Structure 1
Amino acid sequence: MKASIAIAQFPITWDIEQNLAAITSLLADVQPDEIVVLPEGALSGYGADLSALERLPPSALAHAMDRVAELAQRRAIHLFCGTLLFERGAWSNAALYFSPDGTRWTYRKINLAMNERGQLDAGSELSTLTIHLASGPITLGVQICREIRFPEQWQHLADRGAQAFIYLTHAANPSEPAGVWRSHLISRAAENQRFVLAANVADPHQHCPSMVISPRGEVLAQANSGESTVIRTTIDLDESANWYLGQRRRDLLKTSYQDRTNV
């Protein structure tokens, strides 16, 4: 089953209206039924210093979310957008899904970065999402930023039926070694035999490209680091497989885990 993919990246600020204007502009040419992925914090803003949360108005953010939902409906797209999210008196780091029919879904980052701990609440669910394209249903798993470092989370999502991974990040740290996070994403795709659809902030210090990776680990499309752009490709979900996952030594892994916990 084929699916059309659009990955958008742009410079993200702490100005909600500016971010919303950039999103609206970048999505002007998206096509109905496309899966569109925006970076971590795309709507709210994001950065290593989260003190700006004190000045971020939750009501303005909620209004902007409604406008993004309207945009997804008007364009008839399946839109994944990162944002910091204020709920029940606390902030979390979230990936929001906006469907063509108005349905919404939220993934809250479960493995917080060190700068987020104490300021954001961690999510408590690692679940999949099934969306409905014109060609049929697709089950997806979503991960955010540093969760690239925890392959067991991705494997968990694959075990629960994810045919592709949506990955949102805001990775622009000049102290990170070049190419490491790119290699991680290729590994997450190849070891699980799943597509990876990754969106990062446009920044000259970007250390994880916005790109689409096949279940074989092939990079099908990649954006230039500092450029505001949308990259597009078409993927065939029939290429996703369980060949390697089906060969795991579950008996040995289970025994090793029991031995450690019984010490």
Structure 2
Amino acid sequence: MAVRDFLAAAVQLTSTSDPEANFSAAEEQIDLAARRGAELIGLPENFAFIGEPEQRLAIAPALADQASQFLITMARRYQVVILGGGFPVPVGDGAHTWQRAQLVGRDGQILASYDKIHLFDVDLPDGSSYRESSSFTPGSTLPPVVDVPGLCRVGVSICYDVRFPELYRHLVGAGAELLMIPAAFTAFTGKDHWQVLLQARAIENTAYVLAPAQTGSDGGRRFSHGHSMVIDPWGTVLADAGVSQGAAVAPVDLDHLARIRSQMPCLQHRRTTVF
């Protein structure tokens, strides 16, 4: 039986093209979050590597194993449930990787893996262009919902997914109580869209949102928005990590979730299926 409340942490990092430095920075924040009592910890997208596609493709075979083993080691060492929000996994063609999120239980068991299905191919008004599809392959299956022993039912997603509300309807329809949205949101789009999208996903699905994020510059041309957040099912921002490395830590209260779903039962009022 799940506890009725627990602390969750959305870790905020400034990852670079140096995986070992990234793992060290991530462990520092995991350690701090665990000391504060967090039992569920999310790491952002690209927690293990941010850099040029050529380097990512070259190191992906080794990095995929290293990142997964890192998550297993951290979960066991700190006795927490950890989501690694996205790391490259080779497709096999030498030119593309999947972007994989992995949820790991306290005992080091991999509870779920999800390969990002929505790829960010966008030309922004500030002149920045992003073509994830040039070196990433989209996943072929919808993200999972995991009944995490002792905590709650967790739905997994990654970054650009947040702009596709139907994906979160799927997750909530499959029983999700908490939506994890690890990201490396650009500074340009993040200033206007990040928080409002996260609050919308929380409100329309009456679910908690845990959104770990990248912040600052990776040393290249990319600047990330930061503002890792924990948001409750009413849309209230419970914690915001700002723009520095650190973590947003807040309680997830399943009794609070049940009250909001009872007071605002919009999930029971959906009629689109009858048309």
TM-score computed with the length of structure 1 as normaliser: 0.86
Equivalent residues in 2 for 1:1-263, closer than 5 Å: 1-29=4-32, 30-31=34-35, 34-43=39-48, 45-46=49-50, 50-87=53-90, 89=92, 91-104=97-110, 105-114=112-121, 115-126=131-142, 127-133=144-150, 137-174=151-188, 176=189, 178-203=191-216, 205-207=223-225, 209-225=227-243, 227-240=244-257, 241=261, 243-251=265-273, 254-255=274-275
- Work out the CA distance in 2 between the residues paired with 1:88 and 1:143: 19
1:247 Cα shift? 0.9
SS state of the match for residue 250, structure 2? strand
Which AA in structure 2 matches 1:119? S
Q: Give the superposed CA RMSD.
A: 2.1
Runs of 4+ in structure 1 deviating by more than 4 angstroms, as ranges, are none
1:221 Cα shift? 0.5
Identity %: 27
SS state of the match for residue 34, structure 1? strand
Structure 1's unaligned 5+ residue stretches are 256-263
In structure 2, relative to structure 1, the CA distance for the partners of 1:157 and 1:27 (3 Å cut) is same
Which AA in structure 1 matches 2:206? Q
Alignment check: 8 A CA contact 1:172 1:203 kept: no
SS state of the match for residue 94, structure 1? strand
TM-score computed with the length of structure 2 as normaliser: 0.82
- Work out the CA distance in 1 between the residues paired with 2:185 and 2:42: 15
Measured against aligned partners, the alpha-carbon deviations of 1:222-258 in whole angstroms (never above 9, x if no partner) come to 0112x1112211120233327111111134xx53xxx
Measured against aligned partners, the alpha-carbon deviations of 1:30-85 in whole angstroms (never above 9, x if no partner) come to 14761001100102x135x5333233252244134313311210110000112333
Alignment check: 8 A CA contact 1:83 1:95 kept: yes
Alignment check: 8 A CA contact 1:7 1:199 kept: yes
Alignment check: 8 A CA contact 1:164 1:197 kept: yes
In structure 2, relative to structure 1, the CA distance for the partners of 1:232 and 1:118 (3 Å cut) is same
In structure 2, relative to structure 1, the CA distance for the partners of 1:64 and 1:246 (3 Å cut) is closer
SS state of the match for residue 56, structure 1? helix
Deviates more, 1:55-64 or 1:116-125: 55-64
Alignment check: 8 A CA contact 2:157 2:182 kept: yes
Which AA in structure 1 matches 2:50? Y
- Work out the CA distance in 1 between the residues paired with 2:64 and 2:137: 18
